[in-house]
Amino acid sequence: MPVWYPFKRIVHPVPQIWKFCTAFFYVRAVTFGCCRVVNTAMLVRVVVTYALLTVCALAFHENTYAVFELREQLLRLTLNLWELFGQLEYASDPLRQRVYLEIGMIQSEIRDTVAELMRLDSLQHPGSE
């Protein structure tokens, strides 16, 4: 006999993607005559993570660590250059000459670092010159 409800029952339809994900992540495993639900979400997460790490490892430059170090050195040199420009505001004449020498030295180091970065990039991408 059907059950009568005094109010209209509200039924929310389940989205199709939710049905797919539920079916994809849960598998019925039959072991020794009994059925139980096995959650495969962790396995899928691990496989996706390994695939992502493999793609990232293959997509980066061969000289990734060298490029990272050179970028870090370039950042350090730029910060040192800004500090030297700040020292020029209050430096006396003898100290000002030394600051100018250090600025010139840092400029040459920045030029060398940029040239090395460009060399490593041209090794990685030989056709883009």
Q: Can you give the pLDDT at residue 68?
A: 86
Is 39 a member of any domain? no
Q: Can you give the pLDDT at residue 15?
A: 67
Is 95 a member of any domain? yes
Q: Can you give the pLDDT at residue 48?
A: 82
Task: Give the CA count within 13 Å in the CB-facing half-sphere of 6.
Answer: 0
Q: Can you give the pLDDT at residue 5?
A: 55
CA distance 21 to 117: 45
Is 26 a member of any domain? no
Angle between helix 93-124 and helix 64-87 axes, rounded to 10 deg: 160
Is 18 a member of any domain? no
Is 35 a member of any domain? no
Is 120 a member of any domain? yes
Question: What is the mean pLDDT, run by run of 10 residues, along the chain of 129 residues?
Answer: 56 64 55 55 78 73 79 95 92 91 95 93 75
pTM over 0.85: no
Is 67 a member of any domain? yes
Q: Can you give the pLDDT at residue 120?
A: 87
Which CATH number covers residue 117?
1.20.58
Beta strands in the chain (DSSP E): 26-31, 34-39
Number of domains in the chain: 1
The range of the structural domain enclosing residue 78 comes to 61-128
Is 108 a member of any domain? yes
CA distance 28 to 56: 34
Contact by Cβ (8 Å): 88, 45: no
Q: Can you give the pLDDT at residue 86?
A: 93
Q: Can you give the pLDDT at residue 30?
A: 47
